[in-house]
A and B are shown apart, each in its own frame.
Chain A
């Protein structure tokens, strides 16, 4: 691009969003080039600069977003949407340069609607802020991922995020009613006024999980709930994972706890010991049940009797309460995996008939092919039909190649190995962190010819291919 054309585009973008909201400053380009993806962090740690956007643009609403996308389409400039940058898959990294569209100016909370039980907000709102808005009226969002404080509503929708209370309250796609979306051509649309209808396919679900490849979500109505009258915790220690899976599956045929988290022996002996203080060997499982007091009491009885059948040791409420209190502590520096380690979370999901097999297969594949890697896992989102593995590999800094390109190769190779093993055993590319640039290449391996459905939608909505190129395998 010539300097002249650069200035032409800059002035048009400034005209669209205001000069102060269109930046070419080093600090803005730099901070929008490093997200929570291991690669971008490793790169920056070694004093290298990741690909940067040319223009960092922050529209205040759908209208300004529309203007930006029209400019981008005319000049055929890539647009990468940025929420708060907490994504782990490199979905927000502007790998082709162009425009980074930061959504955080769209952070208005329009309505805390206690009649309709939703909050209407700009998708640039930090989720914790809408939780506070709900709390101020005596309600709660019940969406409590570890990234609650550092992710936007749009960010969670873009990669189909999930929180710790998912078993009872669902995933982010269960929590949204209606959305406003700006299509790549600049058209502003609204999805249906209510979800769960028969008026054709659910438009919400086309954009949720699309990671900025099909448009920009600019406004959303997110569900709120009454605060539970009672919330009780119970920690258990299982002799082995098989017993825990069977116990969990049986419990879910009876009722839905809010939190269900099973940690494998390795993670129980490391993270859980460190943060929660469980010293014993085994697989730790934490359960929370909540809601109306009388129902919680009945559920607690069912929980104890069900888990007793599988030989679980009842650790009482202390560890569970500690875990609840510390649930975000795990993710602060000093408690979490960090550079110079090489690491990744290969979360996948499958029905109960496959999930344990996937766990053992992934564990074996990683530990056999990459003996320098430690493999730990927990199972933190459970349904009546199956659950999710949150399995992680960690390579100590001393075993990570000094050459950043070689370090990257090692990282990619472990990911290929882990995800392909999951796919071969009935899992999926990812459960709730998304795909981004990190896993795009594996999407076709999961979907095969079904990938043409996504490609067709992409081609129709974004014929110039400007929206978040090379993400999601599109």
Chain B
């Protein structure tokens, strides 16, 4: 395993630093010391020094990270465990050492076009026309449901397209194997389709993140404007295309770390929810938000993902939340699976539909 000089510098800075110990959603869920940025860095630093092999054991640890960026956000010096974790995953791919569960997902992708290996969802309609593409993404097509979102956009009079053969954005491959040639090829293929539209509205923040950030970083030519679903909805509310009546609902936003930290989108969801009801914040919100679930990791560590979601429910209940609102398929699905009694879970589009 060869690390870049930049990665080595970050690994060596993190290996003896415990300061972000408290923010790791995985470490907090498992209680395991190895699920911390410093433990991962220590392992990799010993690999870099030749003291231990880049073995299955160390590689598995590299895949126990959700890349949520909580540690990175917490670091006042600016060290970046996400960066070296992704590089370590790429290294495992290049060395031919990917764990079996990762290989299985890559094989699923090769066979079915998505890492989950699911068949095309017949319930997702194909809608033609317009210069706006409503991009659902791999998680939603394989594991989620966007029926309410489609209904809402129709009610707002948005002329949009929904593809039957939507190419995957590359988010999942970027998560699994980082900046590998295969990831870039998938992104380039997706960009070709996206470039047929003026604007791409991403239902899932994960896809918006790679389109806005990694495409640029990897030199993928994307001309279409990419906006998140939440940003788009906030504009529809502001412009009056969606006429919202304020209700007495008490709404607690669960913003995904991707939305808050990677995309730095902090207001859109709040603008929409404030128009629909009373906002009740969790203590850890905005850039301090906590991951509530990741569907890719759910494929290989489902019990931990449930604990992650349960932890976020505890945060919500501690603030007497009545309705927890999400804008991310992965988080919605895992929160749904772990929902306690006496509290509701809604998608942002469901809240809006209720207030029209």
Question: Do residues A36 and B33 form an inter-chain contact, with CB atoms below 8 A?
Answer: no
Query: Is the CB of B126 closer than 8 A to any CB of chain A?
Result: no
Q: Is B318 within 8 A of A136, CB to CB?
A: yes
Q: Is B111 an interface residue (CB 8 A)?
A: no
Known: A26-B58, A27-B39, A333-B79. A328 touches B19 (CB 8 A): yes
Also in contact, A133 and B18, with CB within 8 A (given A30-B46, A332-B76)? no
Fill in one digit per residue for B27-43: 1 if any A CB lies within 8 Å of its CB, else 0: 11001111010110011
- A331 contact from B14, B19, B55, Cβ within 8 A: B19
A136 and B283 contact, CB distance less than 8 A: yes
User: Would you give the shortest CB distance from B221 to chain A, in whole angstroms?
Assistant: 37
- For B23, the chain A residues whose CB sits under 8 A away are 149
In-complex Cβ contact of A104 among B33, B46, B61 (8 A): B33
Complex-state Cα separation, A36 to B15, whole angstroms: 10
Interface size on A, residues (CB 8 A): 49
A222 to chain B, nearest CB (A): 16
* A135 with B283: CB separation less than 8 A: yes
Per the 8 Å Cβ criterion, residues 108-136 of A in contact with B are: 124, 126, 128-129, 132-133, 135-136
Given the contacts A149-B20, A333-B79, A30 and B13 also touching, CB distance less than 8 Å = no
Cβ contacts under 8 Å, A34 to chain B: 15-16, 42
Report yes or no: B13 in contact with A334, Cβ–Cβ below 8 A.
yes
Contact B77–A335 (Cβ < 8 Å): yes
* B-side contacts of A86, CB under 8 Å: 18, 21
Cβ–Cβ < 8 Å partners of B51 in chain A: 44, 47-49
Quote the shortest CB–CB distance from A25 to chain B (angstroms).
5
In the complex, whether B228 has a CB less than 8 A from a CB of chain A is no
Measured in the bound complex, the distance between the Cα atoms of B284 and A149 in whole Å is 14
In the assembled complex, A102 has its CB within 8 A of some CB on chain B: yes
Return the chain A residue nearest B43 by Cβ. A27
User: B residues 37-60 with Cβ under 8 Å of A?
Assistant: 38-39, 42-43, 45-46, 49-52, 55, 57-58, 60
B31 touches A107 (CB 8 A): yes
User: A88: shortest Cβ distance to chain B, in Å?
Assistant: 11
Instruction: Establish whether residues A28 and B17, one from each chain, have CB atoms under 8 Å apart when the complex forms.
Output: no
Q: Which B residues touch A128, using CB under 8 A? A: 22
- Asked whether, in the complex, the Cβ of B46 is within 8 Å of the Cβ of A58, the reply is no
Give the residue name and chain of the B residue nearest to A122 (CB): B31
Asked whether any CB of chain B lies closer than 8 Å to the CB of A319, the reply is no
CB closest residue in chain B, given A147: B18
Beta-carbon contact of A126 and B33 below 8 Å: no
> Roughly how many angstroms separate A102 CA and B21 CA in the complex, as a whole number?
14
- Tell me how far the C-beta of A35 lies from the nearest C-beta in chain B, rounded to whole angstroms: 9
Majority DSSP secondary structure for residues of A touching B: loop
User: Are A329 and B42 in contact, with the CB atoms below 8 A?
Assistant: no
Shortest Cβ distance from residue A340 to the other chain B in the assembled complex, whole angstroms: 11
Per the 8 Å Cβ criterion, residues 40-70 of A in contact with B are 41, 44-49, 56, 58
CB of A433 within 8 Å of the partner chain = no
A266-B17 Cα distance, complex, nearest whole Å: 25
Q: Which residues of B contact A150 (CB under 8 A)?
A: 18-22
| Across-interface contacts of A300 in B (CB, < 8 A) | none
Q: Taking the nearest CB of chain A, how far is it from the CB of B9, in angstroms?
A: 10
Q: Which residues of A contact B15 (CB under 8 A)?
A: 34, 44
Residues in B with CB closer than 8 Å to A390 are none
- Interface status of B75 (Cβ within 8 A of chain A): yes
Does A187 belong to the interface (CB within 8 Å)?
no
- Residue A31 is within 8 A (CB to CB) of chain B in the complex: yes
In the complex, are the beta carbons of B17 and A332 less than 8 A apart?
A: yes
A32-B33, A86-B18 are known; give 19 further A-B pairs, CB within 8 A: A26-B55, A28-B33, A31-B36, A46-B49, A49-B46, A104-B27, A106-B31, A124-B31, A126-B21, A132-B283, A133-B318, A149-B18, A149-B23, A150-B19, A328-B19, A332-B76, A333-B14, A335-B77, A339-B16
Give 29 CB contacts A-B under 8 Å.
A25-B34, A26-B58, A28-B32, A28-B33, A30-B46, A31-B33, A36-B16, A41-B16, A44-B16, A46-B49, A47-B46, A49-B46, A49-B51, A56-B33, A84-B18, A105-B31, A107-B28, A124-B31, A128-B22, A133-B318, A137-B318, A147-B18, A149-B22, A329-B76, A332-B75, A332-B76, A333-B16, A334-B13, A334-B77
Residues of B within 8 A of A (CB): 12-23, 27-28, 31-34, 36, 38-39, 42-43, 45-46, 49-52, 55, 57-58, 60-61, 74-77, 79, 283-284, 318-319
6 A-B pairs with the lowest CB-CB distances in the bound complex, closest first: A150-B18, A47-B49, A150-B21, A105-B31, A104-B31, A31-B39
